[in-house]
Structure 1
Amino acid sequence: MAPLISVITAYSGSGDNENALLMIEELGRGNLKVNTPLTNSWYHYARSRYFYRIEDYEELRQSLAKWKIFLAQISNEQMNKLHEWYSAALCLHDKNKACVEAFMYAQQDSATAIPSRLSNHIHYIAFLVNAQLFLGDVDGARESFARYSASMLNKVRVQQTSARVLGVANLHNEILALEDNLAAAKAQRTQTIIIIVFVILSLVVLAYLFVGKRYLKKLATDKLTGLHNEQSVLTLIKKVKPPLNHKVNALAVFDVNNFTEMNTQFGYMTGDEALKSVAKCLTKVTRDQDIVGRIGADQFIVCLKNIEEQTANDLFERILDALTNVVFNDVTGSSINVRSSMSIYSSDGDFADLDEVLADIRDVVKKGVNK
């Protein structure tokens, strides 16, 4: 059964999940005859690894539970650490913050951390990137992603070296046998290396774009409402170009007037529900080309680009009417109305002075005057 584990590892490492599953099933049949704690641990390790790679977390959950039973009957530190890793990956899928934090905290102590022979695995490093992003550890995620990129580039270099060694050996045999085909053999070897390098580099770029895009989106998103956060939305508005054909760029700042009151009377969870209800309403009543974001504890902003001024004012009024009708239930089931107010600003140019505009609007709001 030990050779089967090696074959499964080879298939899984090369991405051949179909053959890996066939070998896992063969391992299961063999385990029925042997049925020892060690072979059962091998079998459920193979299944857990397979389901983790294909991201089938419900099957992973079941396999980990069975594997844990047999792990308690043997002494195998590496398998214990692998079980901890896959269990943490399941916690990350379940968005169990406390569980993920506990695992990441354990990695800070050499006595409880994943050993280096496992911690340098690209799948483990990729898990660290996602876990650190989930926990809001941007610096840690950046460092882990640098490790991931370095590891992938090292794999590229190793595979390039292997390809060159193989190509030289084949070329030498061809020279001895068919000297007249030397030029064609060299061209074929070069083409093969270029294709291999291109494919591997493409995979590295795709991996970078996938993780990088998720990372940038997470940085630009308000965690509570899912809208653009303050830094992101203000950056987008400042990039808006001046309007054409006597039109304007317009923005409105919406304040949730009873946010503090709700927090005081019903608790912060009710306040959060109010903000999420407002965000949902804004998303529903605005257009795809409009810029919408949260710019303060209880403030939201909507920017309309290159639009007739009267049309913009009408749209803002409809948005305010929609917000006036926002009603949600608190934890006791009671209905609560969200009270909102609006401040509008229009410009026949760009919003390069946006910071000053917002400062003026907020000053006016503090004085209880709405434009």
Structure 2
Amino acid sequence: MKNDTERWILYPVVKGKEVIGIEVGILKNNETQLEFWRMDPQDDYYKEIINLFRLAYSEKILTQQTMNKGGNCGRPGEEPCSTGEVVITIPKPNGPKANPHLYLPGANPGSGDPGVIGGNCGAYGNCGGGSGTGETPNDPNNNDSCGKIKEKQNNQKYKDKFEALNKAEIFNMDKETGFYELQPPLGVNAPPGFVQVDGPPGSSDMDLPDDTERISGLFHSHNNAEGSIKIFSPIDIITFINIFLKNARKYGGGYANAYSTVVTSAGSYTLKFTGTAHPGGVDFNTGEAWDKWYKQNMAEIADKDGGFPQDKVEDVFGKFLHEVVNKPGLEIFKVTVDTAEKLTYDPVTKKSQSKPCPK
């Protein structure tokens, strides 16, 4: 138990017959919400209990290997080892250890809370009713990205920001510029606001403020500088996943309300997410791998064509989103101030295809 309001179940994470970490399943909100987290290996409580799991697992596996198929269970081509019941007694996390650091599996410890996994069903999988999270999992409108984009396009403030960026003088600037959408604090009944943000002169990037709490969406431009790629960059996607999704769920009514829009002279695009569970945070090493793939494949376009034809940029980006990022529910749309087309990648033709959203 944690603060007498949450029920924790600890699971050893095993790879190569070795316990390499501890996952935590947390039942909370009167056991109507289930979250899965990874325990930070730098946490004192983790250090206190990890060897208890390792010892119990090793002893059980050694016993089973001598009893199953001459000790071959778990080896390639053989049946997996069955550990049976294992009783492990670990100390309760009291005092300063009462709040072990937790993070999403695959995320970078210490990088902040990238969101919550799961938690959209009622107790023990009863998904028929509300979840208490502000989302309705079985409502098909909750996953209608076209509808969510149309909602934004019908908002005059949203239109004004889009049109403020969709100008030749913006594209010809020597920097990026944009607006981020800031949700009101919890418990405050007020509409979200927009805050302008500018990149430094002579650059092709733009930073959000150090405090990104409550930022659920972003407009920004890509300028006409030489070598500019007029579609989302890997860091744009990482920011959307790690920051905007988390904040939209916490402050903005659900993941479906997060967005990122890039406005360029070759077309404008919006990222949306249709899932009801966070797709998992993106850590540093993953981001580096994405960036390497992206730069290599975009450079191949320039090598062959002497520039960046937008149809080929869309094809490469579609492959990147489909095969490299590979986050189910993450979608891209080509947009204007009042229209949207969903882009999907066909791995057979290796082309991006578009389907207009209903007007």
Q: Tell me which structure has the larger Cα radius of gyration.
A: 1
What TM-score, normalized to structure 2?
0.23
Q: Which has the higher helix share?
A: 1
Structure with higher RCO (Cα < 8 A, 6+ apart): 2
Q: Which protein has the bigger strand share?
A: 2
